[in-house]
A = this chain, B = another copy of it.
Amino acid sequence: MKTLILSTADIKGMINHIGLDCMMSEMIHRLTQAFQSFDKQQTQVPPRSGFEYTQPDYGLLEWMPTREAGKTVTVKMVGYHPTNPQLRNLPTVLSSIGVYDTTSGHLIALADATFTTALRTGATSAVASQFMASPDSSKIGLIGAGAQGLTQLHALAQIFSIDEVFVYDCDPRVTKSFLDRAAFMGLNLVPFADNRLNQLVSGSDIICTATSVDIGQGPVFENHTTKPWLHINGIGADSAGKWELPLALLKRSFVCPDFIEQAIKEGECQHLAPEEIAPDLIEVIQNQHNYLFVQQQLSVFDSTGWALEDKVAVEMLIDYAKDLNLGTFIQLESISEDPLNPYQFTTVSDDFPESSDAIITPRSLTKEYLNLETTSQIPF
């Protein structure tokens, strides 16, 4: 009973085979399906929890659990360390995710979630935009052109026929580098400076805000005239006191949270009274005919990040790994044949040596998968 490890090399292998565009499209497709079929009797998603600290620098380490009844528990561990880029040349977010079989408690898979966190956050905005933005949206405004801005745009590009992208970041070097980073999408990218931010706001059909504005320093743009059907994906607000959008704009918008319990603590919703908050994304998607009007009016998707998205993402990776024969199986858990003797495993010689070569070779990996699928009830 081995554990599948999906490393960055495996993810690269998948992307090399499948392509980033296809993977993003698949992610959007799977998320849409997951939201459409979501049933809270079947899938529990408690609010995330974790540690927040200031030593050695400000940081968060959080766990984001999900349970699908009778099948799996998925727990994403996510670190948010905003000094990483400057001090360590590392991304702000580092993350991994474990999938556990609720039949036995076995760790089925451990995967990188650094890449999928970026991917799924973009993809979720695309899903929300599909249901709330005008279908003809062609002018995209980005406020905040960092890592998240890139995946926001990449995801929207899978759904909308994009004519122009207005790119703004409070750091002009970031605006500039975005033109290179996003070049692979082949879109018409227009950099905006501070003094034209209002024009970005008034000219966009869809805006994504993905800034790292400091707590208490929001909003990141002024209340201003907008197109009447503007849809905003508000990505950056993710902790108490952090917000990006002008309150007056929020108050005249249909503000749809991903996960209401979190959004009222950490998202744009922290400023709104309960009656000012629209139904959540699940409701809008599952009863879409009731919410068609939203596409014609101001709307905000208040995205704080929902563990269900991570579950969908890691299941996609596991499926790709199966199809492409990627991943490494490790016998992680010390399992004694005699369940009453936790030391028994130490006395049994097995088919792998005692040190770090305990890795199944790629050839036997196929067999593993076949074994799993034909002889056991373990999911995946």
Contact residues of A with B, CB < 8 Å? 1, 3, 5, 7-13, 15-16, 20, 44, 49-51, 53, 55-57, 59, 61, 63, 65, 67, 69-70, 73, 75, 77-81, 84-85, 88-96, 98, 100, 102-107, 110-112, 114-115, 118-119, 146-147, 150-151, 154, 174, 177-178, 181, 184, 325-328, 330-346, 350, 352-359, 361-362, 365
- In the assembled complex, the CB of A294 is this many whole angstroms from the nearest CB of chain B, namely 29
Measured between alpha carbons, how far is A96 from B101 in the docked complex, in Å? 13
Number of copies of this protein chain within its complex: 2
Measured between alpha carbons, how far is A88 from B16 in the docked complex, in Å? 39
Contact B362 A359 (CB under 8 A): no
Contact A114 B333 (CB under 8 A): yes
Residue from B59, B78, B340, B352 within 8 A of A150 (CB atoms): B340
Contact A355 B325 (CB under 8 A): yes
With A75-B63, A339-B85, A346-B20 as contacts: A333 and B94 at CB distance below 8 Å: yes
Contact A55 B70 (CB under 8 A): yes
Residue from B102, B112, B150, B356 within 8 A of A61 (CB atoms): B102
Contact A362 B355 (CB under 8 A): yes
Measured between alpha carbons, how far is A92 from B85 in the docked complex, in Å? 43
With A84-B339, A107-B94, A353-B9 as contacts: A112 and B328 at CB distance below 8 Å: no
Residues of B with C-beta under 8 A to A100:
61, 77, 79
Contact A89 B356 (CB under 8 A): no
Residue from B118, B119, B358 within 8 A of A328 (CB atoms): B358
Contact B105 A59 (CB under 8 A): yes
Contact B98 A79 (CB under 8 A): no
Contact B115 A105 (CB under 8 A): no
Contact B8 A343 (CB under 8 A): no
A-B contacts besides A12-B334, A326-B355, A356-B362, 20 pairs, CB < 8 Å: A5-B330, A8-B332, A9-B356, A16-B346, A51-B65, A59-B103, A78-B105, A79-B100, A79-B105, A79-B106, A84-B339, A90-B339, A94-B106, A94-B107, A96-B98, A98-B98, A112-B333, A114-B342, A147-B341, A328-B358
